Amino acid sequence: MKNTSVFLILFLFISIVQLFAAAAEFHLVADISKPFIMLSLAGYYWMMAERRSLLFVFALLFCWAGDVLLIFQPRGQLFFIFGLVAFLIGHLLYMMSYHRLRWADKQNELLWTQKIRMSLPIVLAGTGLITVLLPTLGGLKIPVLVYSLVLVGMVMAALFRYGRTSPESFWCVFLGATLFMASDSILAINKFYTPLPYAGLLIMGTYIGAQYLIVVGVVKHEV
């Protein structure tokens, strides 16, 4: 069996375990399996990519660090903050990767007017959520605000690849980035505003889908 298949099968197995644990609220199983999500995707990317980007690998590893740190957040708020910082760095590295993983030819890219028009729903979604959550954030107002702005920027960076990569790569990365924003929005609403039914399942389902699509999209980029 090829190594790529091994990593993909591992990712699928871990994802099923993680989603089952989230649905059944088996917290120990969820905590043990969670770190392997990004490790298996990183291995899959490393084996599949024709030209590996160390910048993108570091983005995956910072997301892995964020996953690990958030496992320990019940032990103290610092773990949540450090996890937030790890994901923030991961998003910044994703943004830089998206900028590099584009064709030099700008002929088919979005016009500035199109970029502004298509970015508006993303910006409204991000700022709207922060406006709702702001009164409940307490001492986390600044960290969460900064993180949200970077997250919106990451989704916009994915959007701006339109016309400068293959359609498969664009749509996978853009949909993945959008799902990432949805996952973090559900997490924020559940943590700071009001508990949601099946929150763990929704958060992890969208998160796993997001990371998978981003990795597959980057692999599909044609140099």
The structural domains of the chain, with segments of one domain joined by +, span 3-219
- Output the pTM of the full model: 0.95
* pLDDT exceeds 90 at position 2: no
Q: How far apart are CA 1 and CA 198, in angstroms?
A: 36
Ranges 62-71, 123-132, 175-184, 210-219: which has the least confidence: 123-132
Q: How far apart are CA 97 and CA 23, in angstroms?
A: 33
Percentage of the chain beyond pLDDT 70 is 98
CA distances from 27 to 18, 80, 140, 201 (A): 10, 17, 25, 12
Reduce the DSSP state of residue 49 to 3 states and report it.
Answer: coil
* pLDDT exceeds 80 at position 136: yes
Pair of tokens at residue 150: 């970077």
Helix H or strand E encompassing 169: helix 167-188
Q: How far apart are CA 178 and CA 189, in angstroms?
A: 17
* pLDDT exceeds 80 at position 137: yes
DSSP state of 222: -
DSSP state of 189: I
- What percentage of the chain's residues is helix, strand, coil (to nearest 5)? 80, 0, 20
Neighbour count for residue 216 (Cβ, 10 Å): 18
